[in-house]
């Protein structure tokens, strides 16, 4: 009967120390998440500006500012 597995005893102070460590690691994650959101937002804004410019250019080609009228 010497083949018993060992049981690890976790005391309350050990558990509270682990929780404190987790809270400290959360702060850098928030900053990195903010950076990612800012980066993606800038990509979306650039894409929207480019599409608007392309659409405006295409509409200007289809409907010119000075349309040709039938002078005959």
Instruction: Give the tens place of pLDDT for each residue, 22-46.
Output: 555 556 788 889 999 999 999 999 9
What pLDDT score does 68 carry?
A: 75
More confident call, 50 vs 64: 50
In a domain, 29, yes or no: yes
- pTM attached to this predicted model: 0.48
In a domain, 48, yes or no: yes
Quote the DSSP letter at residue 64: -
In a domain, 20, yes or no: yes
Domain count within the chain: 1
| 3-state SS class at 69 | coil
In a domain, 51, yes or no: yes
In a domain, 36, yes or no: yes
User: Residues 12, 20, 10, CA angle at the centre, nearest 5°?
Assistant: 25
Task: Render 8-50 in DSSP notation, one character per residue.
Answer: ----HHHHHHHHHHHHHHHHHHHHHHHHHHHHHHHHHHHHHHH
In a domain, 24, yes or no: yes
Q: Which domain holds residue 37?
A: 12-62
In a domain, 57, yes or no: yes
């Amino acid at each position: 009967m010497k083949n018993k597995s060992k049981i690890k005893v976790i005391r309350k102070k050990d558990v509270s120390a682990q929780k404190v460590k987790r809270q400290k690691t959360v702060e850098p994650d928030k900053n990195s998440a903010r950076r990612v959101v800012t980066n993606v937002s800038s990509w979306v804004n650039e894409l929207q500006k480019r599409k608007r410019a392309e659409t405006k250019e295409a509409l200007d080609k289809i409907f010119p500012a000075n349309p040709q009228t039938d002078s005959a």
